[in-house]
Amino acid sequence: DIQMTQSPSSLSASVGDRVTITCRASQGISNYLAWFQQKPGKAPKSLIYAASSLQSGVPSKFSGSGSGTDFTLTISSLQPEDFATYYCQQYNSYPHTFGQGTKLEIK
């Protein structure tokens, strides 16, 4: 199975900051990488697919990049509603594994 490792596991930031979360795959996955946002007690929300393509309705403050084994999710100009847990997922091969999550907290 492909292992997905996110860093950091938690991150403190202030409103207005720009943050970057990293996701590393244990083997190459081309650009078959998605990002999700989850708020406490809620279902996840899809943000990005194919490493850098925004899902419909997702604001452009979210951006993704990477290919192969190393990927990043960048969130610009943080707002209170952006504080949540973020997950990456590879869908290059089965099983479609998720990273362990990165909790973004308000400083």
Partner 1 sequence: EVQLVESGGGLVQPGGSLRLSCAASGFTFSDHYMDWVRQAPGKGLEWVGRTRNQAFSYTTEYAASVKGRFTISRDDSRNSLYLQMNSLKTEDTAVYYCVRIGTGNIDYWGQGTLVTVSS
Q: Which residues bind partner 1 (CB under 8 A)?
A: 1, 32, 34, 36, 38, 43-46, 49-50, 53, 55-56, 87, 89, 91, 94-101
Shortest distance in whole angstroms from residue 39 CB to partner 1: 12
Distance of closest approach, residue 48 Cβ to partner 1, in angstroms: 9
**Shorter beta-carbon distance to partner 1: residue 17 or 24:** 24
Q: 10 Å Cβ neighbour count for 22? A: 16
* Phi, psi (rounded to 5 degrees) for 96: -80, 85
Nearer to partner 1, 14 or 42 (CB): 42
Amino acid letter at 64? Answer: G
Looking at residue 54, the DSSP 8-state letter turns out to be E
Q: How far is the CB of 20 from partner 1 (least distance, A)?
A: 20
Strand partners, 102: 86
Residue closer to partner 1, measured from CB, 68 or 101: 101
d(CA 43, CA 32): 22
Number of residues assigned to the chain: 107
